[in-house]
């Protein structure tokens, strides 16, 4: 039995009924999704990311598009000043990562058609491939973060975070890389006829929230 077959068997045993994720994350505005993604890097989701994104959205209900977020960022003397004041997050490197990702997406969406920004970003997310993370050129933003960004904007893919890597490695009995874990999981999901984005959410939930409402979502560098 090869690696993909073993993963397919494990998926059918452990996740026999994978349904669509109802997480509020998927319905947020483009600006909120980018904040969610970047804040998720190496941080606990439920206790760190969610309250900060919600607070920002409540404070700035008019900021939905990336250009709006970029203008607000530019109104501060530095990305760190923005992050400290608006997100209660004093991390210079992460603030620079946020600015870089916003600028990257504003440029990327310009290459795709769509009346609304969300449509253009969905087309970008579906067009992009995992290896394109190398072209982002933003320090602190790797493969998993890039994949989560694509997921947020509608791509049927997965992010090789700690939970996905642990799951695939556990099934195979040896440690695998993030690239290998992503490749094998996507192939296995296709064979098992499971939507990969929903499968990613199910694997994350089983690893980070083994008891409903208790465990906290933790995301490795380039998350979620």
Please write the tens of the pLDDT for every residue from 70-93. Answer: 999 999 999 999 999 999 999 999
pLDDT at 147 over 80: yes
From CA 128, how far away is CA 154, in angstroms rounded? 11
Domain assignment present for 217:
no
65 and 169 housed in the same domain: no
Domain assignment present for 127:
yes
89 and 102 housed in the same domain: yes
14 and 52 housed in the same domain: no
pLDDT at 209 over 60: yes
Tally of domains within the chain = 2
Domain assignment present for 49:
yes
Q: How confident is the model at residue 208 (pLDDT cuts 50, 70, 90)?
A: confident
Q: Across the chain, what does the average pLDDT equal?
A: 91
Is the whole model's pTM more than 0.85, yes or no? Answer: yes
123 and 162 housed in the same domain: no
40 and 115 housed in the same domain: yes
Mean pLDDT of 189-213: 85
What percent of the chain shows pLDDT beyond 70? 93
58 and 111 housed in the same domain: yes
- Neighbouring residues of 18: CB distance < 8 A, sequence distance ≥ 6: 194, 195, 198, 199, 202
34 and 116 housed in the same domain: yes
Domain assignment present for 32:
yes
Which among 224, 142, 137, 141 has a CA at the least distance from the CA of 177? 142
pLDDT at 220 over 90: no
Which among 78, 119, 77, 116 has a CA at the least distance from the CA of 95? 78
Q: What crossing angle do the helices spanning 3-14 and 162-172 adopt, rounded to 10°?
A: 110
87 and 174 housed in the same domain: no
Are 30 and 117 contacting, i.e. CB atoms less than 8 angstroms apart?
A: yes
130 and 182 housed in the same domain: no
Please write the tens of the pLDDT for every residue from 6-48. Answer: 999 999 999 988 988 778 888 999 999 999 999 999 898 889 9
Q: How confident is the model at residue 169 (pLDDT cuts 50, 70, 90)?
A: very high
Ordered DSSP codes for 110-133: TTS--SSHHHHHHHHHHH--GGGG
pLDDT recorded at residue 21:
78
33 and 132 housed in the same domain: yes
124 and 165 housed in the same domain: no
Residue 187 domain boundaries: 3-21+158-208
- Neighbouring residues of 124: CB distance < 8 A, sequence distance ≥ 6: 105, 108, 109, 111, 112, 153
Domain assignment present for 66:
yes
pLDDT recorded at residue 174:
97
Q: How confident is the model at residue 222 (pLDDT cuts 50, 70, 90)?
A: very low
pLDDT at 210 over 80: no
pLDDT recorded at residue 139:
92
């Amino acid at each position: 039995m090869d690696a993909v077959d073993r993963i397919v068997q494990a998926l059918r045993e452990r996740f026999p009924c994978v349904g669509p994720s109802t997480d509020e994350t998927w319905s947020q505005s483009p600006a909120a999704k980018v904040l969610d993604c970047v804040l998720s890097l190496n941080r606990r989701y439920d206790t760190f990311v969610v309250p900060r994104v919600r607070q920002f959205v409540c404070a700035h209900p008019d900021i939905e598009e990336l250009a709006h977020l970029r203008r607000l960022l530019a109104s501060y003397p530095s990305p760190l000043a923005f992050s400290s004041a608006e997100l209660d997050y004093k991390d210079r490197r992460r603030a620079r990562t946020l600015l870089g990702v916003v600028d990257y997406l504003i440029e990327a969406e310009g290459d795709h058609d769509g009346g609304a920004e969300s449509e253009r970003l969905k087309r970008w997310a579906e067009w992009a491939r995992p290896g394109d993370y190398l072209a982002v050129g933003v320090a602190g933003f790797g493969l998993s973060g890039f994949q989560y960004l694509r997921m947020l904007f509608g791509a049927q893919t997965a992010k090789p975070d700690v939970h996905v890597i642990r799951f695939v490695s556990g099934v195979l009995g040896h440690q695998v890389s993030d690239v290998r874990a992503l490749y094998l999981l996507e192939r296995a999901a296709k064979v098992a006829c499971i939507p990969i984005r929903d499968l990613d959410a199910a694997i994350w939930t089983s690893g980070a929230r083994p008891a409903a409402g208790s465990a906290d979502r933790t995301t490795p560098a380039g998350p979620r």
